[in-house]
Amino acid sequence: MKISVLTLGCKVNKYESDALIFKLRELGYEAVDTLENADAYIINTCAVTNEAERKSRQMIERCRKFNENAKIYVLGCASQNRPMQFEDKGVTFIQGVANKLKIIEHLSENGEDIYDLPLKYEDDMFSAQTLTRAFIKIQDGCDNFCTYCIIPYLRGRSRSRSMESVIGEVEKLPKDVKEIVLVGIDVSSYSADGNTLIDLLERLDKYNFRLRLSSMEDNLVSEDFVKRLSNLKNFCPHFHLSLQSGCDEVLKKMNRKYTTADFKRTVELIRRYFPLAGITTDVIVGFPTETEENFRETVKFIEEIEFSDLHIFPYSNRTGTVASKLYKDLPKSVKTKREKVLEEIKKRDKLKFVEKNDTATILLEEEKDGVFYGYSKNYIKCKIKGDFKIGDVIRAKIVKPDIKETLCEKL
């Protein structure tokens, strides 16, 4: 039986889908992670925005175009949030966020089962990695309860994976893997058996992998944390710090637990220890209380920080969140206009950041027509020609900076 496991959303979902594929193959199924003709499809859904849920529903129809008679199984955040949205889609089984591996037990059943969210980390997943970069899940859930976000209600409270379990998975990684990325819903909250995130990173640094963090919150970054990071030989200086707004008034309404002054001090601290660190962020435009003046403050702050990249999201009104209950949504046209303003700043600052770099240490991850592509340690996407192979880590000179693919030559 051939099963296609399809993933929408975050890196945590990707890790969990890979774990499903690994388990399915162990049990003798032919399992793939691409949309192609199959006997059954497992769709790992996302609910971070209304658009993400729409794409999750849309994926069902895309599967049917390959095999209209296939069984379709839905699980993840969208089905945890509103299982009824899939009930009239002719799917075989609906499951939520918890116990994702149990979907395998339902492959011969019809129905729906939304398990209770766990209070402890579900340590039953192992993701077989075959790429040069491996995602390692270390944490799940979130305690922040930002007013715009539905995820804490769908994923549950923060819970961390034991350090020994994380290390056990790392030690089983194939030799082709050259970089590991620690992922979770709120990686900054990692705490297991008295160990914090920096303790885990220090333990992992003895292995021969580049180390990268998927994201972090402002409150994690103390001088002790950054100083200890700077002593790690394998750490990749790329910091994805979620900003969401550059206006203190809006941050307070979002229930973000820092001010712009706090955030700026964090950036300055990072740059003191890592002058060429890639510092990327998320920004929400059009939060319901965001006035034109509030948005101008955000623009000014973003220009002041000069991020190496921006991920810009129009506010999505999520039923069940505090913001949806308290505030009236802004017109789509307002969000679109503000998004375009930030897109121009993003392009300018991204190029400015790349131009500050003379060299790059690149992990080659793919090859097309004799050109190799990969990322520098501070997360610049690079391309280079030469007698290389995928998985090589090379030192290169930056020849032509670009916001999409920076041209390099081997040193």
Segments making up each domain of the chain, as ranges: 2-113, 133-355, 359-410
Return the CATH number of the domain spanning residue range 133-355.
3.80.30.20
pLDDT at 304: 98
- In the predicted model, is pLDDT for residue 78 greater than 90? yes
User: pTM for this one?
Assistant: 0.95
Residue 125 has pLDDT above 90, yes or no: no
Q: Are 163 and 197 in contact (CB under 8 A)?
A: no
Segment 347-361 mean pLDDT:
98
pLDDT interval class at 245 (50, 70, 90): very high
When pLDDT is cut at 50, 70 and 90, the band that residue 14 belongs to is: very high
Residue 394 confidence (pLDDT): 97
- Could you list the beta-strand ranges (E) of 38-140: 40-45, 71-76, 93-95, 111-113, 133-137, 139-140
Tally of CB atoms within 10 A around 349: 19
Give the largest Cα separation in the chain, rounded. 59
Read off the pLDDT band of 47 (50, 70, 90): very high
CA 396 to chain CA centroid, Å, is 27
CATH 3.40.50.12160 at 2-113, yes or no: yes
**CA distance linking residue 70 with residue 39, whole number of Å:** 5
Out of 2.40.50.140, 1.10.3720.10, 3.40.50.300, 3.40.50.150, which CATH number does the structure's domain 359-410 have? 2.40.50.140
SS3 163: helix
CB 280 within 8 A of CB 307: yes
Helix (H) or strand (E) holding 36: none
3-class DSSP state for residue 16? helix
List pLDDT tens digits, range 126-152: 887 678 999 999 999 999 999 999 999
321, 147 contact by CB (below 8 A):
yes
Query: What confidence category does residue 324 fall into, taking pLDDT thresholds of 50, 70 and 90?
Result: very high
Fold: same for 2-113 and 359-410:
no
Q: Do 287 and 245 touch, CB atoms closer than 8 A?
A: yes
Instruction: Report the C-alpha gap between 159 and 138 in whole angstroms.
Output: 9
Strands 393-400, 359-368: pairing kind? antiparallel
